[in-house]
Structure 1
C-alpha cells in the first residue's frame, strides 16, 4: 500500500484548511505555501469536496474551508476519499480480482494486513495529527517513546486557528535530515 503523492497533497490541503479555521483559503495560496502544483491541487480539491471533507466558494473572497469535524474525521477517511480502499493487495478487497482467492493462504495474510492498516489509520483524527503529530499515543505505542527517524524528522509545528494562546503546537512539516 502506497500513500500516493495525491494523498500526501490532500493531507497538506487539509492541514492548510485546518490552520485557516473558519476563514476560506484559496487553492492558489495553498498551492504556493505547500509546494503543490496548482492544477494538481485543483483536482485534489474536487476529491475532497466529493468526500465531504471541504467545501468551496468561488470568487475573490472564495476558497476552501473544512466541511467536517476534524475531531471525528480519521486519516482512513481521508485516504479512502482520495484513493479508495486502503489495501496491500487488490485480491484482499476485490473477490473478482483473483480466481484463486478462496483457496489462497496468502489472501488471508493480506486481509490481516489490511485490517491492521485500516485500524491504525482509523486511530488518528485530523485534529490528532495536526495537534499531536508524532506525540500521538498510537505513534508512541507502535514506534516506542524513543523512536528514531532514519531519514525524516518533524521540523516545525502547527497551531490550529482556534487554539488558545500558549497552547502547544503540533507537527507542521517534514524535512530531510
Structure 2
C-alpha cells in the first residue's frame, strides 16, 4: 500500500496479486490495522484500502504491534503485562528479556514504511 500510496484506495485483490497472498488472508490483516488507525477502507467501485498517515509517519513497529500485539520475547516483560511477575525480583533472566525487548522495539521503530518503499525502489532499479 505504501509503494502505491497516491491518495487512492487500493483493492485487496490488487495487493493480493502483487504480493502473492490470498485475499482472505489480507482481509484478516486489515482488521487490526484498521483498529490501530493505520489504514481505512473506502467503499464503492473504486474503493479499497488506504493508509491513514503518510508512509514516513508509520513505523514497522507500529505495524507489528497492530498485528502481533506488544513487542516482547516473553509476556512478563511486555508493557501490557497485567501485573508484576511474582518472581521478578529474583529472576536472573529478566534483564536479558528486557534488553531483547528494547532492542527489538528500537530496531522495528527505526524503520518507516517510507524506508521500505525506498528500499524496494532500490531493489527494483538493480534488476
Q: Shorter-chain-normalised TM-score: which range? A: 0.7 to 0.9
Gaps of 5+ in 2: none
Q: Which runs of 5+ in 1 are unaligned?
A: 1-15, 134-156, 158-168, 173-177
Q: Report the Cα distance in structure 2 between the residues aligned to 1:83 and 1:119, rounded to whole angstroms.
A: 16
CA distance, structure 1, for counterparts of residue 106 and residue 123 of structure 2: 22
Q: Show structure 1 runs of 4+ deviating over 6 A.
A: none
Which residue in 2 is equivalent to 1:43?
28
Q: Which residue of 2 aligns with 1:123?
A: 110
Residue 47 of structure 1 and its aligned partner are, at CA, apart by: 1.3
Match of 1:136 in 2: none
How many residue pairs align between the two structures? Answer: 122
RCO comparison, higher one (Cα < 8 Å, 6+): 2
Name the residue aligned to 1:87.
72
User: Which residue in 2 is equivalent to 1:19?
Assistant: 4
Contact 1:24 1:65 in 2 (8 A): yes
TM-score, L = length of structure 1? 0.62
Is 1:58 paired with 2:10?
Answer: no
Greater helix content: 2
